[in-house]
Amino acid sequence: MLKPQSTATRELVNLDGLWNFAVDSGDVEERWKAPLANPLEIAVPASYNDLFTDSAIRDHVGWVWYQRTVRVPRGWAGERVFVRVDAATHEGKVFVNDTLVAEHVGGYTPFEADVTDLVEAGAEFWLTIAVNNELTNTTIPPGTITVTEDGRRQQKYMHDFYNYAGLARSVWLYSAPAVRVDDITVTTDVDGETGIVGYEIVTTDGSAAAEVRVRILDAAGTQVAEASGASGSVRIDDVTLWQPGAAYLYDLVVEVLSDGTVVDSYSLPIGVRTVEVRGAEFLINGIPFYFTGFGKHEDSPVRGKGHDNAYLVHDFQLMDWIGANSFRTSHYPYAEEVMEFADRHGIVVIDETAAVGLNLAMGGGIFGGIKQATFSPETMNDQTRDSHAQAIRELIARDKNHPSVVMWSIANEPSSGEPGAREYFEPLVQLTRELDPTRPVTFVNVMFANHEQDLIADLFDVMCLNRYYGWYADTGDLQSAEIHLEAELRGWEEKYGKPIIMTEYGADTMPGLHSIFDTPWTEEYQSAYLDMNHRVFDRIDAFIGEQVWNFADFQTSNGVFRVDGNKKGVFTRDRRPKAAAHKLRARWTNLEK
C-alpha cells in the first residue's frame, strides 16, 4: 500500500491538529450524522488516554468519536479524492458527512477510502472517525473484556504495554488521477558491481491501455536506469549499496502515460541490498551482520503512542550515540515515518506484527489466573489466525519496499510450547514466505518455551529469544543466571545450528537508586546484568545480535506489578540515560564482530 505523497500529479493535505472528540456513551444513535454535542477538543495525532483528567475517558472500553470539517482544495475538480488514516487503534470507521466510507480492523496499519463522489472541490465536508479500542480473542493483539460486579466493562490483555488508543498517527486528504499507480513492489539483488532492481507495478487502469515507465535516479538526481512496462528489472552499474550505517537511496520514479502524456507519477525511495541467512550467519550484502540495539515502543508522556517527529529525531540520535545499529518494532508496526527514517539513516529493522500476547500460559502461571489452553476453539482459534494472517498481509503490503527491514517477526512470545502452536503457526509462516520470498522470517520466543519445549522454532530462519536470567529467574543472583543462560543458549545452538539473536534481555531500574551489591532495581545492577549477558553472548558462536529490553521506560497496563510503568529502559521515559547507557555505548561503539 503506497504512502500518499505530493508529486506533479498528486496533492496532499495533512489533517492533523485539533479535532472535536467525544466518548461514545451509547445514548446517541448515528452520531456521525450531526456535529458532536458538547465535544472536547483533542490533538491528532495522539493516543487519547493521557490527554484528559477524566479516568472515565482513560479507562473507556468501546467507541470514541473524532470529528472535524475539511475543505477540499478548489483545484481538485476532476481528480479522485481520498481520505487516508495512518492508524486507528484498534478499529476505525470513517464517515464523510452521512456516509460510511471505510471500516478497518487492526490498530497499526493504514487504510483509506475513495470519497470522490461524496465531496466537491472547493467545498467543505464533515469528517467523522469512530475508533474502537476493544481487544478480544479474535483480534490482533488479543484480549478479553470482562464486566465488573458493578457493571463496568474492563479490558484485559496479555501484553505488558498500556493499551493506548485513538488516532495516534496522521490523517490525510489527498488527490490522485483516476488512472494511477496503485502499488509498487521492489526487490533488489547484486551482481558484482551491478545492482539489479526488480519491480512490479499495479495500476488502476484495468484495460492496461496506459503505459508504465520506470526511471531510477541516484541521490544527486541523475538518471541511472530506465525501463518501460509494468514489471521487469533494471540494472544499475557501479551501484552504491544500502548498507547498515551507510544508507544510500535511489529514487524509483514510476510514471503512467496515456497517449504519450504523463498522467501520474510516484517516486519511491529504494535501497539496493541483499539479505540472507546462511548457516548460523545473517548476511547483509554478503557480509555477516551483528545486531546491536533495542526492542522499542512507540511511547512518550502525554502523547501515549502518538507519533511525534521530535521524539523520532531524538530517539535515532540516541541510538546513534549509543552505537545501536538496529531495533525491533516491538510489538506492532510503527509509523511509516519511522520506517522511512530508518531507511535514510541506515538503521536495520526487525519488523513485527501486533501479534503479542498469544499466550495464556503466562497469565495462568505467574499471575494466578485460571489456566487455559492458548490454542482452542474458545481462545486463540481459527478466527484469531485469520486476523493474524490479515495483520501479516497488511504489514508486508505496507513495509515490503523498505531496505531497512531485513526480517519479519510474525509474533512476540506466543505460547510456542503448547499443543496447537504448530498447527496455528505453520500456515502463517507459509503465508509470510509467499508474500515475501526475499526476507527471513522469525518469531520471538518466550522464556517458558526453551529449546526442549518449543514446538515451532524449526519453521523459522533465525532464533529470536527473550531471556531474563538474573531478572525473572535467578533474580539478584547473576552467577547462577550466567550458568543457566549459557546452558540454554548452547542448547539452542546445538539443536538448530541457526543464528540466534537475543531480542529481549533487561532489568527494571530506578534511576538514582544505587548499591555496592547486586541489588535489583539499582543502576549498578542493570549494568552488571547486561555485562553478564554480554559475557555469555560472546562465548556463543551462533550469536548474531543483542537487542536490550527496552530503549526507554514505557507505560504499562494498570496493575500491581509495575511502578509507573516498565522501568527496563536504558533511557528514562523522557530519554535521559541511566548508567547502563554509558556501559552499552562503550561496548557497542567498540564491538568487533
Which of residues 11, 160, 299, 546 is near ligand BDP by CB under 6 A? 160
Which of residues 336, 343, 413, 474 is near ligand BDP by CB under 6 A? 413
- Specify which residues 361 forms β-bridges with: none
Which of residues 566, 569, 583, 584 is near ligand BDP by CB under 6 A? 566
Q: Which is nearer to ligand BDP, 249 or 355 (CB)?
A: 355
Read off φ and ψ for residue 289, nearest 5 degrees.
Answer: -110, 135
Q: Are strands 348-352 and 326-328 parallel, antiparallel or unpaired?
A: parallel
Query: What is the spatial distance between Cα 321 and Cα 348, in angstroms, rounded to a whole number?
Result: 16
Q: Nearest distance from residue 414's CB to ligand BDP, in Å?
A: 11
Q: Which is nearer to ligand BDP, 110 or 470 (CB)?
A: 470
Long-range contacts at 24-31 (CB < 8 A, ≥ 24 apart): 24/62, 24/63, 24/64, 24/65, 24/130, 26/62, 31/65, 31/128, 31/130
Which of residues 109, 139, 412, 416 is near ligand BDP by CB under 6 A? 412
Residue pair 129/171 in contact (Cβ under 8 Å)? The answer is yes
Q: Nearest distance from residue 185's CB to ligand BDP, in Å?
A: 31
Q: Which is nearer to ligand BDP, 264 or 413 (CB)?
A: 413
Residues 381-400, mask of contacts with ligand BDP (x by CB under 6 A): --------------------
3-state secondary structure of 128: strand
Q: Nearest distance from residue 496's CB to ligand BDP, in Å?
A: 21
Q: Nearest distance from residue 406's CB to ligand BDP, in Å?
A: 20
Return the amino acid letter for 15. L
Residues 73-112, mask of contacts with ligand BDP (x by CB under 6 A): ----------------------------------------
Q: Nearest distance from residue 109's CB to ligand BDP, in Å?
A: 20
Q: Which is nearer to ligand BDP, 172 or 549 (CB)?
A: 549
Q: Nearest distance from residue 105's CB to ligand BDP, in Å?
A: 22
Exactly one of 112, 298, 413, 546 is catalytic; name it: 413
Query: What is the spatial distance between Cα 17 and Cα 244, in angstroms, rounded to a whole number?
Result: 35
Residue pair 563/511 in contact (Cβ under 8 Å)? The answer is no
Which of residues 86, 211, 504, 553 is near ligand BDP by CB under 6 A? 504
Q: Decide if 592 is catalytic.
A: no
Q: Nearest distance from residue 159's CB to ligand BDP, in Å?
A: 6
What single string gives the DSSP state of each residue in 256-324?
EEETTEEEEEEEEEE----EEEETTEEEETTEE--EEEEE----BTTTBT---HHHHHHHHHHHHHHT-
Read off φ and ψ for residue 213, nearest 5 degrees.
Answer: -125, 140
In 3D space, the residue among 407, 416, 592 whose CA is nearest the CA of residue 503 turns out to be: 407
Q: Which is nearer to ligand BDP, 224 or 464 (CB)?
A: 464
Q: Which is nearer to ligand BDP, 141 or 244 (CB)?
A: 141
- Specify which residues 251 forms β-bridges with: 217, 269
Q: Which is nearer to ligand BDP, 157 or 492 (CB)?
A: 157
Q: Which is nearer to ligand BDP, 11 or 418 (CB)?
A: 418
Q: Nearest distance from residue 329's CB to ligand BDP, in Å?
A: 12
Q: Which is nearer to ligand BDP, 239 or 502 (CB)?
A: 502
Q: What is the dihedral of CA 532, 537, 538, 544, to 10 degrees?
A: -150
Residue 578 in the binding site for ligand BDP (CB under 6 A)? no
Provide the terminal-to-terminal Cα distance of the chain, rounded to the nearest Å.
37
User: What is the residue whose three cell numbers read 464486566?
Assistant: 147
CB-facing half-sphere around the CA of 57: CA atoms within 13 A = 17
User: Whose CB is nearest to ligand BDP?
Assistant: 160
In 3D space, the residue among 394, 428, 434 whose CA is nearest the CA of residue 414 turns out to be: 428
Residue 547 in the binding site for ligand BDP (CB under 6 A)? no
User: What is the residue whose three cell numbers read 551462533?
Assistant: 542
Residues 314-353 that bind ligand BDP (CB under 6 A): 331
Q: Decide if 504 is catalytic.
A: yes
- Specify which residues 70 forms β-bridges with: 125
Q: Nearest distance from residue 395's CB to ligand BDP, in Å?
A: 18
Helix (H) or strand (E) holding 57: helix 55-58
Q: Which is nearer to ligand BDP, 106 or 506 (CB)?
A: 506
Residue pair 154/147 in contact (Cβ under 8 Å)? The answer is yes
Q: Which is nearer to ligand BDP, 398 or 568 (CB)?
A: 568
Q: Are strands 500-504 and 543-549 parallel, antiparallel or unpaired?
A: parallel
Is the previous residue joined to 388 through a cis bond, with omega within 30 degrees of 0?
no
Residue 568 in the binding site for ligand BDP (CB under 6 A)? yes
Q: How many residues bind ligand BDP (CB under 6 A)?
A: 10
Query: What is the spatial distance between Cα 63 and Cα 67, in angstroms, rounded to a whole number?
Result: 13
Hey, what's the cell of 131? 475508533
Hey, what's the cell of 151? 457493571
Exposure string over 379-401, b if 16+ CB within 10 A, otherwise e = bbeeebbebbbebbbbbbbbbbb
Cα–Cα–Cα angle for 134, 140, 143, nearest 5°?
50
Residues near 378 by beta carbon (within 8 Å), at least 6 away in sequence:
137, 372
Q: Nearest distance from residue 566's CB to ligand BDP, in Å?
A: 5
Hey, what's the cell of 531? 555485562
Return the amino acid letter for 280. A
Residues 442-481, mask of contacts with ligand BDP (x by CB under 6 A): ------------------------x---------------
Residues 526-545, mask of contacts with ligand BDP (x by CB under 6 A): --------------------
Exactly one of 11, 211, 482, 504 is catalytic; name it: 504
Q: Nearest distance from residue 471's CB to ligand BDP, in Å?
A: 8
Q: Which residues bind ligand BDP (CB under 6 A)?
A: 159-160, 331, 412-413, 466, 504, 549, 566, 568
Active site residues: 413, 504
